[in-house]
Amino acid sequence: MIELVVSDILSKSSDERAYVMLLRERDGARKILVAIGYIEAQAIAFAMKNITTKRPITHDLFGTIIDALGATMQCAVVRKVEDGTFYSKLVFKVGDSEELREVDARTSDAVAIALRCSAPIYIQEELLNRVCIRDEFNGAISIPISIADTKTLKAVMQQAVEEENYELASKLKEELDSRRRESDKNIDTDENMKL
């Protein structure tokens, strides 16, 4: 597992309410971008700057509940990305038990809570390699197609076809086909569970 730290919170210029969290590996240069909302961006920024509020915000309250229940947060784990959405989990130890408990969480919430609990944030090396952004020439960055949402991929593929960039269009089609197969597999699994 690779430890991540919050590097920055950036606002999207096209939408004042949308933000991007930049996570980088603690001992390296790889980075990932995670789209987050205004409230989560504010909660993460408060934790990074050690800002306290008169009344606890939701992420502070969650940290207080963890303590009150005698649990300790061990870590947050960024575990997968699907259709441009990152999925994470919180890992807890309850009391003196060696048993660990996991709770599914949005990545933005997992990071906000981990910061408050002084817990590390991890990602599998293979996933980090697949979704990390790459620094390009002149300060531009390259974002892996695996973290773009399907609507964006379809639009970029259409543009690539119009510009006769068939190599890019082919890569985008492969990613879209892979997502469609995965979606079909999930639908089949859901249908079998109902039987």
Same domain, 17 and 111: yes
Tokens 């969650």 sit on residue: 62
Number of domains in the chain: 2
Residues of the chain with pLDDT > 70, as a percent, come to: 80
Residue 142: per-residue pLDDT: 52
Domain interval for residue 17: 2-131
* Percent of the chain's residues with pLDDT above 90: 29
Do both 69 and 97 map to the same domain?
yes
Give a yes or no: residue 119 inside a domain.
yes
Residues 85 and 163 in one domain: no
Nearest to 103 by CA among 119, 118, 87, 91: 91
- pLDDT (mean) for 154-158: 76
Q: What is the pLDDT of residues 157-183, one digit of tens each?
A: 787 788 787 776 777 777 777 777 766
Same domain, 126 and 154: no
Token pair listed for 143: 């974002």
What is the C-alpha to C-alpha distance for residues 50 and 176, in angstroms, rounded to an integer?
A: 42
Summarised one tens digit per residue, pLDDT across range 85-94 is 899 999 999 8
CA distance 70 to 56: 19
Distance CA 18, CA 41 (A): 9
Whether residues 9 and 94 share a domain: the answer is: yes
| Within a domain: 143 | no
> Does the pLDDT value for residue 42 go beyond 80?
yes
pLDDT over threshold 80, residue 12: no
pTM recorded for the entire structure: 0.71
The radius of gyration computed from the CA coordinates of the chain, to the nearest angstrom, equals 19
Q: Are 99 and 109 in contact (CB under 8 A)?
A: no
CATH assignment at residue 80: 3.10.690.10
More confident residue, 161 or 32: 32
82/174 same-domain check: no
Whether residues 115 and 181 fall in one domain: no
Q: Residues 6 or more apart from 125 whose CB is under 8 A from it?
A: 1, 2
* Three-class DSSP category at 29: coil
- Residues 44 and 125 both lie in one domain: yes
Check whether residue 42 and residue 125 sit in a common domain: yes
The residue with greater pLDDT, 9 or 134, is 9
User: Does residue 138 sit within a domain?
Assistant: no
Q: Which residue, 81, 101, 131, sits at the end of a domain?
A: 131
Residue 142 lies in a domain: no
Tell me: do 12 and 53 sit in the same domain: yes
pLDDT given at position 147: 63
Binned at pLDDT 50, 70 and 90, residue 140 comes out as: very low
Same domain as 87, residue 164:
no
**Are 114 and 169 part of one and the same domain?**
no
Asked, for residue 63, whether it belongs to a domain, the answer is yes
Confidence of residue 188 (pLDDT cuts 50, 70, 90): low
